[in-house]
């Protein structure tokens, strides 16, 4: 088993750089997330402060190196280098389109929720936060390994309409409830935390929907998305 004791080791420097700018490989942190990645056959190497019984190549590191690699206040000292998952969009299911969602925590939560309610993919518009940002990976807790997540565009949204999908955009203006939407396949669109769904997307939407509520007129995008995805899942 290899052992690395210096924070200046070229391999450690490469891992730090990969965290800052993910490519075809990713660095993930935490035993639970790593075990999910192992189950998905994505792990190429583990870096840990202690010896673990995983059937993948492992390198021991010092607690000081673990602190350097970690993006958390406290760390369990276990990291894994994994292959970026590439999963095919399932066009037999409802889809989710995120229009410039910018907060990593929101995106991670939304991915986890989309997986829970069996959506066929999450599509990210230009201007959305990087889906492989370390905070997104942490919040999603393995959703990336089972749910297709890909960059998208307005053109792809229009193409999905031609494939029989109805585009359902969240907005307060001229909106109905999700229960009133009549569609066998739909693309639910959630908008930016501050600006909402863009005008360009609203122009091509087949339905505008809102969540009936009292005392306030809006919810956090991840909360609103969870409510709507749950309601959509009940239709099937």
pLDDT band, very low/low/confident/very high, at 86 (cuts 50, 70, 90): very high
- pLDDT score of 20: 85
Q: What domains can be seen in the chain, in order of their start residue?
A: 2-83 (3.30.1330.30), 95-233 (3.40.1280.10)
Shortest CA distance to 220 belongs to which of 170, 175, 186, 165?
A: 170
Cα separation of the two ends of the chain: 50
CB distance 149 to 111 below 8 Å: yes
Handedness of CA 222, 131, 37, 116 (dihedral sign): positive
pLDDT band with cut points at 50, 70 and 90 for residue 21: confident
Q: What is the mean pLDDT of residues 205-231?
A: 95
Residue 71 has pLDDT above 90, yes or no: no
Q: Mean pLDDT of all residues in the chain?
A: 95
Q: Is 201 exposed, middle or buried (0-12, 13-18, 19+ CB in 10 A)?
A: buried
The pLDDT of residue 26 = 94
Model confidence at 236: pLDDT above 80: no
Q: How far apart are CA 231 and CA 236, in angstroms?
A: 10
Q: Are 148 and 93 in contact (CB under 8 A)?
A: no
User: pLDDT digit string (tens) for 95-148?
Assistant: 999 999 999 999 999 999 999 999 999 999 999 999 999 899 999 999 999 999
According to the model, what pLDDT value does residue 217 have?
Answer: 84
pLDDT score of 145: 97
- Residue 129 sits at φ, ψ, to 5 deg, of -65, 150
What are the DSSP calls for 101-151, one per residue?
---HHHHHHHHHHHHHTT-S-EEE-TTSPPTT-HHHHHHHTTGGGTS-EEE
Residue 19 has pLDDT above 90, yes or no: no
At residue 23, the pLDDT reads 85
* Cα(15)–Cα(4) distance, integer angstroms: 13
Using the Cα atoms of residue 181, residue 189, residue 146 and residue 31 in order, give the sign of their dihedral: negative
């Amino acid at each position: 088993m290899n052992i690395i004791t210096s924070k200046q080791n070229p391999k450690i420097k490469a891992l730090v750089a990969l965290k800052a700018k993910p490519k075809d490989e990713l660095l993930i942190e935490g035993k639970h997330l790593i075990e999910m990645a192992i189950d998905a056959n994505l792990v190429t190497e583990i870096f840990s402060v202690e010896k673990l019984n995983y059937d993948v190549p492992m390198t021991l590191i010092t607690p000081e190196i673990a602190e350097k690699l970690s993006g958390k206040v406290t760390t369990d000292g276990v990291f894994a280098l994994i292959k970026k998952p590439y999963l095919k969009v399932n066009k037999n299911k409802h889809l989710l389109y995120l229009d410039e969602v910018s907060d990593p925590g929101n995106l991670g939560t939304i991915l986890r929720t989309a997986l829970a309610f069996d959506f066929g993919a999450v599509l990210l518009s230009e201007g959305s936060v990087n889906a492989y940002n370390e905070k997104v990976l942490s919040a999603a807790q393995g959703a990336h390994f089972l749910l297709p997540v890909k960059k998208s565009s307005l053109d792809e949204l229009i193409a999905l309409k031609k494939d029989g999908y109805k585009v359902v955009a969240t907005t307060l203006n001229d909106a109905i409830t999700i229960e009133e939407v009549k569609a066998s396949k739909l693309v639910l669109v959630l908008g930016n935390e501050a600006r909402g769904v863009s005008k360009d997307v609203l122009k091509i939407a087949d339905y505008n929907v809102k969540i009936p509520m009292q005392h306030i007129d809006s919810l956090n995008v991840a909360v609103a998305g969870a409510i709507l995805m749950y309601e959509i899942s009940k239709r099937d």
